[in-house]
Chain A
């Protein structure tokens, strides 16, 4: 039995107009002309003869007219039937289908019949098979940032099929909310009456729950415009997956002196414990270490590798576990730039021939702790000292960190060179001691927040009584400098005492300013500021014993090292990226003339963009969609100048699926259909698709009725003579 439905059922209300002819008939029966008439006998005879026939004719005309109005309303409502044979015409209402393909990397999960994405593509092609001539389709990928592959409705279904076949799993996460929003935009612009949205996804629970509110809102939006089929792809019982996540180095600045700890978090998202799992460390494509561990189901473990790089320069590597169904998160890449050492230049603002009475001896001693009778040890930090008079900014580029120790002031040219030095990513530490001239510091270095200093120097704060001391109180563990210290070290830091210090006035609302520690009087004890690509740290005292016992405290050396390493991080190029992040790197002067090339993980040679930045010339590359190591080479050389590691989002590694009830609850109502694994999309769509449009048939019938009405009216009506 065929059922009839309507594309615009609200227009059926116009069928009420069918009462109009009846009303008009009744009204006209009440409106008549009165005539005095003599020949009533003949009239009565005539009327008697024609009464029954006329009544029949009137009834027929009335029915015809009512039927015409009903059919107009029906035609406007665009009736549809599910039995094509009942229509004289082969046409049916055009369908506009928006296909949303989840291309997040979890779709690469391997099943017995290929990947989940293969299954999604197969099902999407099945849905396209339900479209025919006159139907149109758009294609959106929901990976990282939703992208319309076919934006304008395409009537070339074959083209859409080819586009779907060409699609590949990305290294990105899922942007279903964005894809739904894009689909809503396309649906709003479409004039078609029958609109369908097909979402092919592995229905990862975490992805849905992370952006549930947005997905709900957008899904409700498109459900108002179209019928939505959420198709579960590759929805098998297996969710086994172990992912390598959060690969972290114990410090950012890596040298050849000290070993570095590489912490790697491994998560077991499966329902079974993972026993005797092997995690291997590979550096420069060579296995360096491996660890065996077990991870309970739904739990994570951190595995640590210690490794000392023997060579300076760029290195790349990865941590890898044995294969599982989701391959892409079994390996996590990294890239590091290993230094031989860090070079620090100390400008002594208070030079003195007497040991430790100048402003640099304590600093130099701190940076050279390994001197012994055997000679100087291999130092991670190489300090050099200059006084203000011998200081020349010409060789400044070879240093990583510059320390102004109790410098009263300096000339404008030197200051400008220092500003450029920091702007390019180098570090500056300022010990504002007793000689510091507030005018120079505030006007030249602070410069109304636009200068190097994070704070303005107000006045020297001193203890009120001789026995009183200032000490560090508010220490921010969130700040990278302090983050590495344990509780005992923090306690030690708090034992450092001060008799005087410069009172700072820093603006905590300034996002470039950070305060790692405060004095007990509430004044900042250390203030930091990002300047260009570099960073500046301001200490409110000199690096001597005039105002504090800091230089002789055992925490002086770790604090100083942390500060130097922290400042050096700024000069490090961001080499470890998420898939989709832009890759940027400043070019050195020697690299200007060479043409840079990037070798992508899939062995393609691409040319990055070269542009200018405030810090200098830099190269950039946006299409980091393939996880792995990107190698930077210059000119025709095979020598790799730098490595960049690109890793996928880890949120996709959690393969737990959202249940049907949860998914159906995202958009309550009958417009969202969850197409479960094993269901026949053809049957489901046929059930909901409204059927064959019979408005043409209705129109023909309408025209026939109108013609019949005219003919009948001609013969029966007023024209009758």
Chain B
């Protein structure tokens, strides 16, 4: 487990993103008003842990006894205080296994997932994890306990890769399954029909979820740097294409550009955050940049 922790939690990334917070831009169903406004009113009494006071925390939750001992403000955290339910949905299909510079898209996505989970759990949000390809392979309901993080990491490591992506079916299924409003984070290369992908993302939105899409691509997929006769072997299925790279490059790049453009435009139209990521870019930089921008938007 220690290895898994190390594998997915790059200290550099964590140190950079931990200073930031992933804030929901809409009302979520949490009861603790701190980071997120909760549409629900009810109290959970089960003490979970202390957390350092941050501006905006209710004064009444300050543990004065701790203050008396340490001269620092801490607030009490309870299980029921989760103000956000976040679902990290990770595409584990075989197309995510492609990687040109050592790490695959899936590894990069896993880094991202773990970083986000860590960040959310750090701010006492509940994090759930769903791994999918043509179907849902793993499902961890949202929790906000530290142990839960370890569970997610374990799942990240063990999540099997399926041959094909079926975003449409999986997302519709999930949209129906997730009852409470929350933050839906989708990490995928989205090598699927764009219209169907957008329609399924629309389903999440329809269920009042805030949706963030992390579009993970490899640099080679964006530049197509091949220069000779090449046999391209697909990850999903047995598809093979023998082509002169130089002759198909132009068409490929245009198709890829169209795909990204359509996905991005579609996401924006549906008020879905679209975050493009390339696996050779430092994750910490990209993530912190995104979080900072998100904070600014709030």
> What residues of chain A have their CB less than 8 Å away from a CB belonging to chain B?
28-29, 31-47, 49-50, 54, 716-721
Contact = CB atoms under 8 A, between A and B. Distances in A.
Interface in B190-247: 191, 218, 221, 226-236, 239, 241-244, 246-247
Contacts of B98: 36-39
B251 A46 contact: yes
Given A37-B232, A40-B234, 19 more contacts: A28-B229, A29-B229, A33-B230, A35-B233, A36-B97, A37-B235, A37-B241, A38-B94, A38-B191, A39-B98, A40-B235, A40-B239, A43-B252, A47-B248, A50-B251, A716-B247, A717-B246, A719-B246, A721-B250
Contacts of A47: 241, 243, 248, 251
B221 to A, nearest CB: 5
A27 to B, nearest CB: 11
B239 A38 contact: no
A40 B232 contact: yes
A54 to B, nearest CB: 5
Contact of A39 (B191, B242, B246, B250): B191
Contact of B218 (A31, A38, A49): A38
A49 B251 contact: yes
B102 to A, nearest CB: 14
B95 to A, nearest CB: 4
Contacts of B250: 46, 50, 720-721
A43 B246 contact: no
A35 B230 contact: yes
A718 B251 contact: no
B221 A39 contact: yes
B25 interface: no
Given A28-B229, A37-B234, A38-B95, A54 B251 contact: no
A718 B234 CA distance: 24
B226 A42 contact: no
A693 B247 CA distance: 42
A49 B191 CA distance: 19
Contact of A43 (B105, B227, B248): B248
Contacts of B226: 33, 35
Given A32-B230, A36-B98, A47-B248, A42 B243 contact: no
A39 B189 CA distance: 9
A718 B227 contact: yes
B249 A721 contact: yes
Contacts of A716: 247
B249 A42 contact: no
Contact of A42 (B97, B231, B255): B255
Nearest to A32: B229
The listed residue with most B CB atoms (<10 A of its CB), out of A35, A37, A41, A42, is A37
Contact of A33 (B229, B241, B259): B229
23 contacts: A32-B228, A32-B242, A35-B226, A35-B230, A36-B235, A38-B95, A38-B97, A38-B105, A38-B189, A38-B191, A39-B191, A40-B234, A42-B252, A42-B259, A43-B241, A43-B243, A46-B249, A46-B251, A46-B252, A47-B241, A47-B243, A719-B246, A720-B250
A720 B230 contact: no
The 4 closest A-B pairs by CB, nearest first: A46-B251, A38-B98, A42-B255, A38-B95
Interface string B247-282: 111111011100100000000000000000000000
A37 B233 contact: yes
Contacts of A34: 230-231, 233
Which residue of B97, B226, B246 has the most chain A CB atoms within 10 A of its CB atom?
B246
Contacts of B221: 38-39
Contacts of A40: 232, 234-236, 239, 241
A45 B247 contact: no
Given A36-B233, A38-B98, A718 B255 contact: no
Contacts of A43: 232, 241, 243, 248, 252
Contact of B246 (A31, A35, A36, A720): A720
Nearest to A54: B247
Contacts of A37: 98, 232-235, 241
A292 to B, nearest CB: 105
B254 A46 contact: yes
A45 B254 CA distance: 10
Contact of A45 (B227, B228, B230, B251): B251
A717 B226 CA distance: 13
A47 B95 CA distance: 19
Nearest to A36: B233
A487 to B, nearest CB: 106
A610 to B, nearest CB: 91
Contacts of B256: 39, 42
Contacts of A721: 246, 249-250
B191 A41 contact: yes
A428 to B, nearest CB: 105
A522 to B, nearest CB: 101
Nearest to B257: A42
A33 B246 CA distance: 13
A720 B250 CA distance: 8
A54 B255 contact: no
Given A32-B228, A45-B251, A38 B234 contact: yes
B260 to A, nearest CB: 10
Interface centre among B105, B226, B239, B248 (most CB of A within 10 A): B248
B166 to A, nearest CB: 14
A664 B178 CA distance: 109
A32 B241 contact: no
A33 B235 CA distance: 16
A54 B243 CA distance: 10
A33 B234 contact: no
Contacts of B231: 32-35
Contacts of B254: 46
Contacts of B96: 38
Nearest to A716: B247
